[in-house]
Structure 1
Amino acid sequence: MVATACPFLRRALLYVPASSTRMLYKSLSLSCDTVIYDLEDSVTHYAKIDARDALNQHLSQLTERPASISEIAIRVNNARSPYLEKDLRLAASIPLVDTVVVPKVNTIGDLRTVSHFLKNYENKYYKEIRTKPVRVIALIESARAVMNLSNICQGPRLNGVIFAAEDFALDLSLTRTPDMTEFLYARSAIVTAARVENVPSVIDLACTLYKGGDELAQLEEECRGGKALGFNGKQCIHPSQVKTVQRLFSPTEKEVEWAVRVNIASKKATAAKIGAWTLDNKMIDAPVSARAAEIVKKAGECGIDVDGLREKWKDEEPQ
């Protein structure tokens, strides 16, 4: 069964190589929605076991999650890897680990394999220390995965999907361009499939440009484009990207003010049995009101002063 809710605000998901002691230590001082400790792509084959041991030591010494981090996740190795079982056992054995990110998910069978191991570890070995099951986020990285999205999004424990652009480009022999039109079909398909199955988090590709002078403009453009397509977060490969990503995947001041006005007037319209109405010369109907309610909810989660705006616009009326 797909997870139907997410208690975490996932805007920025930052990868931290588990093979780097320095980066493991630094990660504790970061302010980021989700920190993903990586045992896969950023760790060479020869360093896999050492990286897992280092991550185990790093996480085992934590008595609580840093206040500036909402979610701790581990990117394990893929469902066909000889490292998977021990990666998952590590995740299950650490109560502070909320989520595993599973790479190269091609079918729902990959998620069933992961869920099977997690269930066994949680019930047989770590029942006394885990208060909740480990959630799963799937990385979509291939043409096969895109064709199987409908089934993948019904996978057990699934709480989010991520588009991995570089591996997808490799699989299809694509050339990545600044406007990313070559990824439009896959990105739209991922968002659509996730919405059909109520998967709560849909995370966009990583911006690979993080230094050189043009990195901020490129990152901002990618964030705005991803948000417009329906993604609600973005992967980060460097701490310098996190602040921008979290800002741009939060509602803007203008969006929140509009949404609060719609929300207030919509309640009055409902009480007066009015269906469609107007605000600022634009029609407001049920879908628009529902969208406004989503924005208000997310604004509150992002720490925006929604109550202050409600007081400011308390006299708003449907027109």
Structure 2
Amino acid sequence: MATKSGSLATKSSSILRRSMLYVPGSSKRKILASLNVVADNVTYDLEDSVTAAEKVPARDRVRDHLRSIGVPGYIHRYVPRQIGEIAVRINSVSSPHALNDLINIAPQLALDAVVVPKVEHPADLTFVSNVLRQLVPHRQRLLWDGDGGDGAPQRDPIRLLAIIESARGITNLPAICNATPYLSGLIYAAEDFALDLSLTRTPHLLEQLYARCAIVTNARAAGLPSAIDLVCTSYVEDPEAEARGERTALARLEEECLNGRSLGFNGKQCIHPLQLETVQRFFSPLDSEVEWAARVVIANEKAAAAGHGAWTLDGKMVDAPVVGKARAILDKARKCDIYVQSVLDKWQHQEPELGGGGSDDAQEKEQ
């Protein structure tokens, strides 16, 4: 299975992909401008945003760009610190372009991940994985702690992100998730899925609910770090939208972010830099969540010291799963550069509410 010890998924707990910005490989201006954005992931696109006539020039342009931001050695890069990950979306493996895409981009030191579109079968990912092992064997190792055997520091393996765009892809998710140890996340392509099923995308997205839940559930079951939600197609504000009683582009984006979070997605695709700040903010722990988590963690330490495995806070029971959720929130907050220690200091005197009728109290009464 792809999630056994030594796999990329289990080694990638520090990966943060709240936002994933697509940059057309056919636009030199946008490629250069991408280095100024603040994003967890910047993905240079060789697929949907590139016309057939531009496939080869776009590939060369992206290759040269990656070469320009990489330097000799395995570790150092000229990638701005505010960009967490550099990726390239290749053309689908069924196209005549995928192999040449990989041949050109895989050797570039700046490359962190390959985004594979139109994934419907495990073989789509094993093809990419096998090609990468042939092209860059020094990077594609399951165990990469330490060095490459010759004393040289070794870069992390090139990760894979799979875009699920069809009914067949949804149906084959369990097998897809276990296709390769380099798989690091699933991405949902709403427009393509709607096309495959002859659906009309609606503002409430109910017609997409089954597929989105399947993506999140299978990503979690396989231990993948990322489940990345659909693109919000609204990014240009219409000054007359409110007068017509319609939602603004920002309001639509915020609503989609909240909806995606509620389903379990931990990131969202972006098609314009104007979407990045909102997306990264909504997929970071909220201030209220960090405060609650800090209170739970501090009070739990005191409850445990008193021998209580279950207790209450604000009238609600707290047990091991709740404490686990609180710790996960604080861990993610730290990755998002939220100063958690100040919140912990603020609530250092938080006490658990004991004697609230929890399981421990029931056991004491029986005794």
Q: TM-score, normalised by structure 1?
A: 0.96
More displaced 10-residue stretch of structure 1: 307-316 or 6-15: 6-15
More displaced 10-residue stretch of structure 1: 115-124 or 186-195: 115-124
Whichever residue aligns with residue 314 of structure 2, its letter is D
Whichever residue aligns with residue 265 of structure 1, its letter is A
Aligned match of 1:67: 81
- In the TM superposition, residue 153 of structure 1 has moved relative to its aligned partner by 1.1
Aligned match of 1:267: 301
Does the 8 A contact of 2:170 with 2:215 survive in 1?
Answer: yes
Q: Give the secondary structure class of the aligned counterpart of 1:309.
A: helix
Aligned match of 1:11: 18
Which segments of 5 or more consecutive residues in structure 2 lack a partner in the other structure? Answer: 4-8, 71-77, 141-147, 239-247, 354-367
Q: TM-score, normalised by structure 2?
A: 0.84
Whichever residue aligns with residue 106 of structure 1, its letter is E
Aligned match of 1:186: 211
Aligned match of 2:245: none
Whichever residue aligns with residue 193 of structure 2, its letter is F
After superposition, residues 23-62 of structure 1 pair within 5 angstroms as 23-62=30-69
- After the TM superposition, list the runs of 4 or more consecutive aligned residues in structure 1 that deviate by more than 6 angstroms: 124-130
More displaced 10-residue stretch of structure 1: 290-299 or 86-95: 86-95
Does the 8 A contact of 1:6 with 1:159 survive in 2?
Answer: no
Does the 8 A contact of 1:19 with 1:51 survive in 2?
Answer: yes
Aligned match of 2:282: 248
- In the TM superposition, residue 274 of structure 1 has moved relative to its aligned partner by 0.9
Aligned match of 1:215: 249
Aligned match of 1:106: 120
- Matches of 1:144 and 1:7, distance apart in 2: 31
Equivalent residue for 1:198, pick from 213, 223, 245: 223
Does structure 1 residue 164 correspond to structure 2 residue 164? no
- In the TM superposition, residue 6 of structure 1 has moved relative to its aligned partner by 4.4
Percent identity, aligned pairs only? 52
Whichever residue aligns with residue 210 of structure 2, its letter is Y
Does the 8 A contact of 2:139 with 2:157 survive in 1?
Answer: no
- Matches of 1:141 and 1:225, distance apart in 2: 19
Does the 8 A contact of 2:232 with 2:270 survive in 1?
Answer: yes
After superposition, residues 296-315 of structure 1 pair within 5 angstroms as 296-315=330-349
Aligned match of 1:283: 317
- Matches of 2:195 and 2:153, distance apart in 1: 41
Aligned match of 2:200: 175
User: Could you report, residue by residue, the CA deviation over 1:115-167 in whole angstroms, capped at 9, with x for unpaired residues?
Assistant: 00011001289998962221000000000010111111112110000000000
Whichever residue aligns with residue 119 of structure 2, its letter is V
Whichever residue aligns with residue 53 of structure 2, its letter is Y
- In the TM superposition, residue 88 of structure 1 has moved relative to its aligned partner by 1.4
Q: Give the secondary structure class of the aligned counterpart of 2:295.
A: helix
Equivalent residue for 1:136, pick from 152, 155, 160: 160
Aligned match of 1:151: 175
Q: Structure 1 pair 286/265, CA: closer, same or farther in 2 (3 Å)?
A: same
Q: Structure 1 pair 265/136, CA: closer, same or farther in 2 (3 Å)?
A: same
Does structure 1 residue 239 correspond to structure 2 residue 273? yes
- Matches of 1:182 and 1:141, distance apart in 2: 14
- Matches of 1:120 and 1:308, distance apart in 2: 48
**Number of residue equivalences:** 319
Does the 8 A contact of 2:231 with 2:268 survive in 1?
Answer: yes
Whichever residue aligns with residue 66 of structure 1, its letter is P
Aligned match of 2:107: 93
Whichever residue aligns with residue 196 of structure 1, its letter is A
Which segments of 5 or more consecutive residues in structure 1 lack a partner in the other structure? Answer: none
Does the 8 A contact of 2:298 with 2:350 survive in 1?
Answer: yes
Instruction: Name the larger-Rg structure.
Output: 2
Aligned match of 1:224: 258
Q: Give the secondary structure class of the aligned counterpart of 1:93.
A: coil
- Matches of 1:129 and 1:278, distance apart in 2: 49
